[in-house]
Chains A and B, each alone.
Chain A
Amino acid sequence: MKLVALASALLCGTILLFGTAEFPDFGDPDSPAASHVSPRYIEEAMAETSAPNIVTAVLADYRGFDTLFETAVVFSAAMACFFLLRIFGEDERRPSEKLYRHLPTGITLRIDPGGKVPDSPEFERIDGIWIPHDVIVKTTTRLIIPFIQLFGLYVIAHGHHSPGGGFQGGVILGASVILYAISQNLRQALGRMGEAVSAVFCAAGVFIYAGAGALCLLMGANFLDYSGLAPLFGVDAIQARSLGILVVEIGVGLAVMSAMVWIYYNLASMGRHQEGL
């Protein structure tokens, strides 16, 4: 098997290497790729979409249809994860036993089904006996999560002018929630951003994108032609394109954030949503 693999990989590589002889050199400014379609983007994107970041302009406007489905891919991956892994109902191995920690002493209590749940701020519900009471990690994450989220929002909103956009910002926002889930525990993260919320937000994010496109259809322009939204925004066609890009970036950010969180919930707890990392 190893030999077969090696042979096929080498064969594939040799064939591909053979083909590189006719390729344009690395960094050749006159290669067909650099001279046929792309100059128009570089020269006109600013005038046509009012977005100085050409990548954002091409991503969300010229080739916005690709990006719509890119977002839909993220959504379907999250949905697939949920569909395949989620196990509803109680874990039959440990039916609804609950663990509490008495904070001043660090003693862990196990409450069997039917037992009385302690009602005092001194008790904290935990996932497993081995979960330590870790002040350092909890405090640090509490300190930096707001900054992470602020940065995520900045990356989404500033995508017109600097590297960034919905995908990057969405991943940063999602990472902040995942960090919260890691540093506290899964149950608490689910309390902050539940499963239904992440699912519906994920769909809603894609829906904002596709809905913006469909709104253009209703306004009589082509699908995703944001200039058709100009009357709604009350600006001229080019500014409308710029605003349209912002709207879809927000949709993308929402969808990507919830998708990341949702995938994490399902993968980390193997679909049980009881205890994760």
Chain B
Amino acid sequence: MSEFIDFFVGKYNYWAFILLMMIGLYAMIAKKNLAKKIIGMNIFQTAIILFYISTAAKGGGASIPIIAHGHGHGLSEHGARAADYINPLPHVLMLTAIVVSVATLGVALTLAVKVYHQYGTLEEDEIADRIRAQTGGEP
């Protein structure tokens, strides 16, 4: 039991991201409303962002990756120690991923607006009904 607790306490960040990811995946598959699917997609992407960011953390008093006293006096002679700052790379990667997910969200919403214009609804089964009514059942 205590092993399990150690395991959970040591790695709870991964548990959180997996939970979020499952919520997102469930919403994308189960929900009939296209807007809810898009929200699910966003949760799914956010889960992955959380995963990356949590890998950047360093215990033992590491600070944000901005070198202290770097202001003003050009090059600092006393080099920064890697243990004093958290890992900057995942933050950089996730800045990119956040921007990508915002961009995807924008395009998805655009298409949702177009779909709404066309069928007057965002419910998948109602859209299917409209399509069947329009084309007589052909794909």
Contacts and interface: CB of A to CB of B under 8 A. Distances in A.
Physical interaction between A and B: yes
Interface of A: 1-2, 4-6, 8-10, 12-13, 16-17, 20-21, 23, 25-29, 31, 33-35, 37-39, 41-47, 50, 52-55, 58-59, 63, 66-67, 70, 73-74, 76-78, 80-81, 84-85, 161-163, 167, 238, 263, 266-267, 270
Given A9-B25, A23-B11, A26-B12, A46 B75 contact: yes
Size class of B's contact patch?
A: 35 or more
B26 to A, nearest CB: 4
A85 to B, nearest CB: 6
A12 B22 contact: yes
B10 interface: yes
B116 to A, nearest CB: 9
B131 interface: no
- Kindly name the residue among B18, B54, B90 whose own CB sees the greatest number of chain A CB atoms within 10 A: B18
Contact of A270 (B11, B29, B55, B113): B113
A53 B92 CA distance: 11
A26 B13 contact: yes
Nearest to A39: B82
- Kindly name the residue among A9, A12, A17 whose own CB sees the greatest number of chain B CB atoms within 10 A: A9
Given A29-B59, A38-B82, A42-B85, A73 B99 contact: yes
A66 B29 CA distance: 31
Given A9-B29, A43-B79, A163 B106 contact: no
B96 A31 contact: no
B136 interface: no
A53 B67 CA distance: 6
A25 B10 CA distance: 5
Contacts of B57: 26-27
Given A5-B30, A28-B59, A46 B67 contact: yes
Interface in B89-122: 89-93, 95-96, 99-100, 102-104, 106-107, 109-111, 113-114, 117
A38 B64 CA distance: 14
Nearest to B8: A20
A34 B87 contact: yes
Nearest to A73: B103
B113 A26 contact: no
B19 interface: yes
A10 B22 contact: yes
B114 A84 contact: yes
Nearest to A52: B70
Nearest to A33: B55
A140 to B, nearest CB: 27
Interface in B52-95: 54-60, 62, 64-67, 70-71, 74-76, 79-85, 87-93, 95
A67 B74 CA distance: 25
Given A5-B29, A6-B26, A73-B99, A52 B107 contact: no
Contact of B14 (A12, A20, A77, A84): A20
20 contacts: A5-B30, A6-B30, A13-B21, A16-B18, A17-B14, A20-B18, A27-B57, A28-B58, A29-B60, A31-B55, A41-B89, A42-B81, A43-B82, A47-B75, A50-B74, A54-B88, A66-B93, A77-B104, A161-B70, A167-B95
